[in-house]
Amino acid sequence: MTKRLAFALVLCVGVAFGIAIRWTKELATAAFAHHDRNVAIAPEATAQREQNMAAPVPANDREGNAERFKNEAGKAWLDIESEEKVLRRDGEEEHVPAGRPAMQITDVSDEEFPTSTVTGRALTITIVPDKEARLSGESVLIRAVLCDKVAGRGIVLTDAKMSCEWLTPHRHWADGEPKKLLLYYLPDVNRRTPERNYFGYLISVYYRGQLQTARWQPDEVKTAFQTPQRLQQPTAQSYAWKTNITTTVFWIGLDNNSNSAWDQEWQVNYGGFDNPDQSARRNYIPVAFIPKQNPFYCALPYNDVMHGQFKPEAPLVIPWFKQSYMGQGQSVCWHRWVAIRKGNRTCYAQWEDCGPFRQDYFQYVFGNERPKPNLNNGAGLSVSPAVRDYLELEPSDVTDWQFVDTQDVPPGPWRSYGENNPFVVVQRQAGQHLVQQGGSPRPSATPTPNK
């Protein structure tokens, strides 16, 4: 009996000792994880981050202080608004210091965190307003660009999901106190490959559209991606005229070239050879056939797509990129409307090809640079025979041009033809609707341009 009691007592002590050791290890691990986030991130924190990434995002819920934004279109950068609109005290006037930035990025902490399927990233960004500044929160915008490195292609914009949340609950940008923003990067497990890995970041802060501060890591990211000094807004007023641009004439089928930068079957899809001879044309179209695409087309020396992917600078320099994005590698420049002016006459055409000579000159197409010298006397625009005839241009001439939004294109012969023409598509859909309702579509009436 005594031996059995002693054995039971020893067994109980051993079990208790084992449990104590296990608890001690768990407590030590938890304390270590809490003490140093760079070494380990607690499981509950990982679960919360995954939940944040999957949480639905309120649409335009600025007044409700929505704390998370999602990259819904799959684009590789986020524009994050402060959401804090008021100044520090009622009636306080805005003040931006002269000769120095209104705010600075003082720190970016970039950490890994594991999920059940992939390894994500968490970037903590610290932004400090100038102590003498009195800034309005509604004019603060943070642009976050994350990038990957792909074997054989180099540095590219990421295809990972991105979201963020403010760690600073009250962001009165007139108080001079640090503001902290947490940015999440979560790769898509279905698209991630061993050849594609996270590479770095470029964080920029703007006030009233003007760049104030930027941080990046590593330096190759700064080289690969442009940081605009001023953000452009996609409004009709923001598209500046490019003046006194040498302009040449080109056409579908020129020098047996039947394809464009975006359409490998351009001549077939157009309907044939766009004969430029005046004797072979009538009312801005070829006599031989009715074009299946808009005869009012043009070319500019930039292509936003290369090898089926957007070029690194495309999302940053194209003003309408965010609004027009349809998917990776689907050009947002193709079919874009351009106004072309000669004297007191203005014609409208769709951007259908790239050139003259170049496909990489975004500094001119979207910036302030002038066309570089080339074999066509520094030409920066090529136009179709229809545009030539409407503006009465010489084979080499000088014009002005600017981008325009579709809703700002006025009536004219440029709205009459083409399956790539939004006005033709809308008119066709309206006609089909009338037929379905038992009516008959009205014939289109295209105003004749004033000669």
**Lowest mean pLDDT: which of 112-116, 267-271, 353-357?**
112-116
Q: Residues 215-230: pLDDT tens digits?
A: 999 999 888 877 888 8
Task: Check residue 342 and give its pLDDT.
Answer: 94
pLDDT range class, residue 76, cuts 50, 70, 90: low
Q: What structural domains and CATH numbers belong to the chain?
A: 69-89+97-225 (2.60.40), 237-436 (2.40.40.10)
Residue 199 makes CB contacts below 8 A (sequence gap 6+) with: 147, 148, 149, 155, 218, 220, 221
Q: Residues 249-282: pLDDT tens digits?
A: 999 998 877 899 999 999 999 999 999 999 999 9
pTM (2 d.p.): 0.53
Cis peptide before 356 (omega within 30 of 0): yes
Rounded Cα distance between 231 and 105, Å, is 18
Task: Check residue 150 and give its pLDDT.
Answer: 87
Q: Residues 6-55: pLDDT tens digits?
A: 545 544 545 444 544 444 333 333 332 332 322 233 333 333 333 333 33
CA atoms within 13 A on the CB side of 208: 7
Of 165, 166, 160, 184, nearest to 46 (Cα)? 184
Share above pLDDT 90 across residues of the chain, in percent, rounded to a whole number: 38
Residue 194 makes CB contacts below 8 A (sequence gap 6+) with: none
pLDDT range class, residue 238, cuts 50, 70, 90: low
Q: List beta partners, residue 354.
A: 300
Higher pLDDT, 60 or 250: 250
Residue 414 makes CB contacts below 8 A (sequence gap 6+) with: 294, 296, 347, 348, 349, 350, 386, 421
**362 neighbors 403 (Cβ within 8 angstroms):** no
Mean pLDDT rounded to a whole number for the chain: 77
Task: Check residue 117 and give its pLDDT.
Answer: 79
Residue 167 makes CB contacts below 8 A (sequence gap 6+) with: 124, 180, 181, 182
Q: Residues 338-353: pLDDT tens digits?
A: 999 999 899 999 999 9
CA torsion sign, 24 to 26 to 30 to 32? positive
Residue 290 makes CB contacts below 8 A (sequence gap 6+) with: 271, 417
Q: Nearest 5°: CA angle at 55, between 46 and 233? A: 115
